[in-house]
Structure 1
Amino acid sequence: MKVFKFGGASLKDADGVKNVAAVLNSQKFENCLLVVSAMGKTTNALEKVVQVYFEKSDFRAQLAEVEDAHLQICRGLFSDEHPVFQEISFYFKNVEVFLQNNVVPDYNFVYDQVVSCGEMVSSRIVSLYLNEIQFANLWLDARKYIITDTSYREGNINWDETQKRISALDLKKCYVTQGFIGAEANNFTVTLGREGSDYSAAIFAYGLNAEAMTIWKDVPGVMTGDPRKFENVSLISDISYEEAIEMAYYGASVIHPKTLQPLKQKNIPFYVKSFLEPEKPGTKVGSLSQSAGAESYILKENQHLMHISTRDFAFIAEEHLSQIFALLAKNKIKISLMQNSAISLALCLEDKYGTLDALLQELQISFNADVVKSVSLYTLRNAKLEDLNKFYANKNILLEQISKKTIQIVTN
């Protein structure tokens, strides 16, 4: 059994769906599980629906736009009489009814019930289209297989129950399912974190003991830098699990940070390939002997640099760190870089849930704390000394950290 994952960029329109079918044909679509993301920018559009709902405005017009976009894609794939049109409208009607009757004030809970519609709809369209052109497959509801806790918007996997359910699938059949979503014990939808479809594919690969997993992107594979941000980047043809995990941790956008661990545990090879050039080899991530690795550039934008110090110039001690990290966890703010001195702590932070201001207020009760918003974090892995001037050029450096293999700088 192989696991393939296609992201929203590959499914943005009817031609994209047809190209996915062409890629599957080139790869001999058999004994395969296909994980798909929401189409195009659907997740962003559904996030807007949630925002409008909580602003107590009329969300229905925004929701109708998302529905119309999917029906337009269906018109390019199916005859006018195909039942897909009624089915897609049914999904969006369910979202409307949920929002009209919801009494739960928890933003994250509502977010997961609404935004997950994107994956449900895209997977139905892809599954029905593949069956229409004689690629026989069964559609799976991922929420019946990926079981989580109630950490809405970033669910934690119940691995024992999840593996039990996934391993019961018939390995001789083909399936289409959703990325990004699972369900908790009461069957409410829980998402796995933004860009979590790669993680979903890895969870299915783990449960199936897959022979390989491939993620299809609009880039040739894992590059030495994002070609939209850096010049003269090149393809990395082979990379170890360990180096890939490090790159994902530092923010390499081509790999979701959680994707690698389940694959490494079962030594499942992982490929990153281009859906535009499926015949090209792409990048293979697997068990390789550790080497120096290729010099790689990574950029994380929309970060925030916070400085924290004690009021009485006392050392930042263990009890202070415990208090600070508890507040970070409470506000679901992630640390991208940390640097401490005797009396101060500098943190480069990622504010995924918009709670940075609340964190700052809480910290200022006990500490001196200030923040520089909207900074960028550059990371250079496996640095070559002769390239350092280029890395530092024309940057206003707010913070710098150097370790054996990695140089990181925060700039504004």
Structure 2
Amino acid sequence: MRVFKFGGASVKDADAVKNVARVLQHEGTKNTLVVISAMGKMTNAFENLINAYYYKQGDLNEKFAFIRDFHDNMLQGLFANKQQDVYGKISILFGELSGFMGQNNSTNYNYIYDQMVGYGELLSTIIVSEYLKEVGVFNKWIDVRNFVKTDGNYRDAKVNWKDTEEIIRKNIDVDTLNITQGFLGGNNDKTTTLGREGSDYTAGIFAYCLNAKSVTIWKDVDGVLNADPRVFNETSLLEEISYTEAIEMAFYGASVIHPKTIQPLEKKNIPLYVRSFDNLNKKGTKVSKGVLLKPLTSCFIVKKNQILISVSAKDFSFMVEENISFIFKKLHEYKLKVNLIQNSALSFSVCIDDKYSNFDRFYNELQEMYLIKSYKEVTLYTIRHFNDEAINTIRKKGEAIIRQINTETAQLVIR
């Protein structure tokens, strides 16, 4: 069994969907399960719809129409006959979404988010599945919510591995091509999500439960690069990465591989490939147990829009375990992800992501007890396997307000 994952860029328009069919025809479709994300930037569009619905931000009907028009255009680019079943299936999904917005009584944003955003993946996979049938590629569409079972922690659900593995092993036809959604799970009859960019994780879950031969993530790059080409002029392809190194890179924010994806694969020694959906003859990058990094070169990870805070006691006393423990408790409470830690006798500094826009409330609470300096809109650069040349490259990008170096990793906060 092989598991393929296609992200939003792989299905961003009609030509991209046609290319997915080309990839599958080239690679073969037997014994394959395909995980597909929402099309293009549709997850962002659904988030705009959710915010219009919940916070009254913008015109709800306009944002709903934008999503519907996008998918209508996709259908017109793929299917000549408007009487085909796919049009009815898509209409039913939009009816369900509209019905939810009209009947929902919950005020829980996270719950509402999960019930609405998942339609991006449902729409995407039905369109791809039906198009594959149109061009003669037989496949079975499956609803991932019936297979990946989770708790009720909306927007960041935890997988119930026992139930999930049992359901997948008993109910997946491993002899055919299966098409399913990434990112989503199910808790009773409610939709949950596995966290943003969770489609890679979905692929890892299915691979683990099916004892798959491999997982392939198809992208618009030749494989995993040592740096983001949008930020750095010169990059190189990493041919091989060990599980350990991939987890390290994911921990520091590398966007090619989702942080949770590697762990289930490592447990069963299932290799992960990152390949180009344009250049099918290129091998891409292999992540497996083995070579640490090939070639062994400096790798750059960039996290923009960070907030650096430095906390110290008002009476200039030491920042000891009790203080730091309290600060971490509040960081967790306000869902502020910590990407760098540095402390001295009198101060404690962290570089954080404010994904849920909770920083101001965190700041207001802490400033009653501590002196706090904050620097917004800073960039965190992490260099794995650094050398002097690599560090100097980052220093040229601005003022380094924090530098932290250990054996294999250097981190600089630049403003």
Q: Same fold (TM over 0.5)?
A: yes
Aligned to 1:181: 184
- 1:60, 1:96 within 8 Å by CA — same for their partners in 2? no
Map 1:5-404; keep pairs closer than 5 Å: 5-56=5-56, 58-78=59-79, 79-168=81-170, 169-184=172-187, 186-290=188-292, 293-404=296-407
DSSP-derived class of the 2:376 partner: strand
Distance 1:291 1:224 in 2: 10
Distance 1:349 1:187 in 2: 35
DSSP-derived class of the 1:272 partner: strand
CA deviations 1:276-323 (Å, max 9, x no partner) are: 112210000001144693211111111111111122222222222221
Distance 1:279 1:7 in 2: 20
The one-letter amino acid paired with 2:300 is Y
- 1:180, 1:199 within 8 Å by CA — same for their partners in 2? yes
DSSP-derived class of the 1:109 partner: helix
Q: Structure 1's 58 and 388: CA in aligned 2 closer, same or farther, altered over 3 A?
A: closer
- 1:163, 1:207 within 8 Å by CA — same for their partners in 2? yes
How far did 1:366 drift?
2.4
- 1:146, 1:183 within 8 Å by CA — same for their partners in 2? yes
Distance 2:89 2:298 in 1: 49
The one-letter amino acid paired with 2:284 is G
Q: After the TM superposition, which of the residue ranges 383-392 and 275-284 deviates more from structure 2?
A: 383-392
Q: After the TM superposition, which of the residue ranges 221-230 and 387-396 deviates more from structure 2?
A: 387-396
Normalising by structure 1, what TM-score? 0.97
How far did 1:12 drift?
0.7
The one-letter amino acid paired with 1:50 is I
The one-letter amino acid paired with 1:389 is N
The one-letter amino acid paired with 1:283 is T
Q: Percent identity?
A: 47
Return 5+ residue gaps in structure 1 as ranges. none
DSSP-derived class of the 2:113 partner: helix
Normalising by structure 2, what TM-score? 0.96
Aligned residues: 411
- 1:63, 1:92 within 8 Å by CA — same for their partners in 2? no
- 2:240, 2:293 within 8 Å by CA — same for their partners in 1? no
Distance 2:49 2:127 in 1: 21
Q: After the TM superposition, which of the residue ranges 159-168 and 22-31 deviates more from structure 2?
A: 159-168
How far did 1:28 drift?
0.9
CA deviations 1:319-364 (Å, max 9, x no partner) are: 2222111111111111011111112111100111111111112222
Distance 1:342 1:403 in 2: 19
Q: What is the aligned-residue RMSD (CA, Å)?
A: 1.4
Q: After the TM superposition, which of the residue ranges 15-24 and 96-105 deviates more from structure 2?
A: 96-105
The one-letter amino acid paired with 2:151 is D
CA deviations 1:42-67 (Å, max 9, x no partner) are: 00001000111123364122112101
